[in-house]
Each structure stands twice: as C-alpha cells, then as structure tokens.
Amino acid sequence: MNFANPSGHVPRPAIDVRSLRVDYGDFIAVNDLSLSVPPGEVFGLVGPNGAGKTSTFRVLTTLMEPTYGDVFLDGIDIQEDIASARRIVGYMPDLAPVPSDMKVWEFLDFHAAAYGIGNKAQRRERLAECLEEVALTPQRDKWCKELSRGQTQRVVLAKTLLHRPRVLVLDEPASGLDPLARRDLRNALRRLAKNGATVFVSSHILSELAEMCTSICVMNLGKLLASGTVDEVRQQLGNTERTITAAVLGKAEDAASWLSSRHGVHELQVVGQEIVFGFKGTDDDQADLMEGLISNGVRLRAFEERRSSFEDILVEVAESNRRL
C-alpha cells in the first residue's frame, strides 16, 4: 500500500515492526512479524485465539522484550530508549479493572498525577478533555462500581489518553460491549485518529474492525497472513467468494440455465423471479457475467452481491488451525 501524501512525501511510520519474534520456551508465539502503520490510522489486528496478538501488543508497549526483532514507535527504538517510547504510547489491556471505591474523576486524577501532568488545575482541565473525548462527562462524579461495562471501558480509554499518547495500543477494547457501547467506542477512536493519533487495535470481532479501521492485518499461529484494506485482505487470503442475487424480468429459468454453465457459478437456486447463486471470481469476472446475461436478452431488474463477511474469513483461518 502506498501511504504517500499529496506532496509525494511518505511520512515516517508511527509503528514499525521488523522481523519480530516472541518465544515462550519452545513455543513460538510471534514468528517473523513485520508491519508498518502510518500516522493517523486506525489499524486492526485480527486473528483467532493463539494467533499472537497479545504477545505482539506486550512487546509494542514495552511490557516484555522480544526474542529478537526491532520495533520503532514514531522513530523511537523501544529497546534503545524505553523511557521515550513509554511517553508516547498508551496501552489499554483487555478487561482492564478499575477500583470500585473511587469516583471516576478520582481515578483519572490519580493517574494524571502519576503521569506528572501539571498542577491540580491543569489536571482538572485535562480530565475534562478526556471525559469529553469518550463522552463520559455526565459520569464524572459517579463511583466506578456504578458504571456499566461500556462506561468502564471508556473510563479506561480516558485514562489511556491522559498523557496525550501519539500511539494507542488497545487490546480487545470492544470485548463484552453492547452495540450502543461499541458504537460510542468506535466513534471515539475515529475522532482520535482524525486528530493525529495512531490507533492499533486488536479484536476477534472482525465486523467491528471492518467498520472501525482504515486498514487491518490478519495473524494466525504467530504469522502475518495478510495486511491492507478490507478488500486487499480478502484478495490476499484468496477469499473472493460472494453470493449474488439477480432479479430478472421474464422467465428466470432461462437466465438460470445460462448461468449454471458459467465458470465460478455454483449452488444456484431460482426463487420466483430471483436467481441466487454462489460465485467465485474477480470483479472483472463478475462484470462479464452481468454483461453476458444482458447480451443474451435477459432483462435485469437488480444484480446484487454479498461478500463473505469477516466472520467467515476468521472461521476459515481458525479451521485451518485444526487441520495443522
């Protein structure tokens, strides 16, 4: 992918991982991972359990050393200058706890003081900014134990934002959230990226990442399988399967007879004046299919596709684990 800006200058990657490997004894958790994430991206890391996502995040956030490989955050070598790396990274682990006996503002103020954020007035101002960023200003004086699961996740995100990190690493931030809470979280991450932060987020909920992220990568058994936009990942994984519904005027059986002999068409069914079939091929192949129908005198009222969902892709990846 070419992330050059209109001036032709390619910005320095916000996250640059080179040949990363993480071993636990004889077990290889991350195997020769290389990826580059430009500034201002919401970049998704997806894969089944055991793919190596959390180990990758622990290295990126300086919580563990890699077996070998290099990681740079905004040009900073995290092994050579760990203090500078920690100043620019914010980490939100999966299911991060909050103390039940503190109010929301007290929890955030405690962490703001730990970050060394100014005096009391300056911390109060920064707390207000972070609460506004995650849409939790009305909950400022609530006890943490009174928060819903979604509100708790957003409080932890607010805490992660306190020191204005340029790189955000979020491990399963949408885990256990209801649809409304996931929407609020998604909107918050988009705003952060729009304001210049780089968000690196993992999830096993692929549909969430498809809506949230500008690009994604897929890991399995410690290895990078694909990286890029949604469509690029589908192509790289060889997943060009789609379901097509052709609504015709006239006899659907005649059109179905022609379609059944075309390469890539399978599982064809006629339902009234609609023909539903599976199709595997390129976008050009699909265009040829539609053009062929019209050339053969078929009057099309609609020609709609439904591509394999990201959940379908994840299932295929996970099933491949069982065959290994």
Domain that holds residue 289: 241-307
In this model, does residue 2 exceed pLDDT 50?
A: no
pLDDT of residue 111: 95
Average pLDDT over residues 168-194: 83
Average pLDDT over residues 31-50: 90
Mean pLDDT for all residues in the chain: 87
Instruction: Answer yes or no: do 84 and 118 share one domain.
Output: yes
What span, in angstroms and rounded, lies between the C-alpha atoms of 274 and 280?
19
**CATH code assigned at 68:** 3.40.50.300
pLDDT of residue 6: 46
What span, in angstroms and rounded, lies between the C-alpha atoms of 250 and 248?
6
In this model, does residue 32 exceed pLDDT 80?
A: yes
In this model, does residue 7 exceed pLDDT 80?
A: no
Instruction: Answer yes or no: do 301 and 163 share one domain.
Output: no
Structure confidence at residue 214 as a pLDDT band (50, 70, 90):
confident
Instruction: Answer yes or no: do 107 and 222 share one domain.
Output: yes
Instruction: Answer yes or no: do 56 and 143 share one domain.
Output: yes
DSSP designation for 119: S
Helical pair 120-133 and 179-194, crossing angle rounded to 10 deg: 120
Last residue of a domain, one of 182, 216, 235: 235
In this model, does residue 311 exceed pLDDT 80?
A: no
pLDDT of residue 4: 40
Place of tokens 């503002």: 105
In this model, does residue 5 exceed pLDDT 60?
A: no
Pairing of strands 215-220, 223-228: antiparallel
pLDDT of residue 82: 95
Q: Which one has a higher pLDDT value, 181 or 196?
A: 196
Q: Which one has a higher pLDDT value, 287 or 97?
A: 287
Instruction: Answer yes or no: do 51 and 150 share one domain.
Output: yes
Q: How many domains does the chain have?
A: 2
**111-148 pLDDT tens trace:** 999 999 989 999 999 999 999 988 899 999 999 999 98
pLDDT of residue 240: 65
In this model, does residue 230 exceed pLDDT 60?
A: yes
DSSP designation for 4: -
Instruction: Answer yes or no: do 37 and 161 share one domain.
Output: yes
Average pLDDT over residues 89-106: 91
Alpha helices in the chain (DSSP H): 53-60, 82-88, 104-114, 120-133, 149-161, 179-194, 206-212, 230-236, 252-260, 283-295, 310-323
Instruction: Answer yes or no: do 156 and 248 share one domain.
Output: no
Instruction: Answer yes or no: do 69 and 141 share one domain.
Output: yes
Least confident of 33-42, 172-181, 214-223, 292-301: 172-181
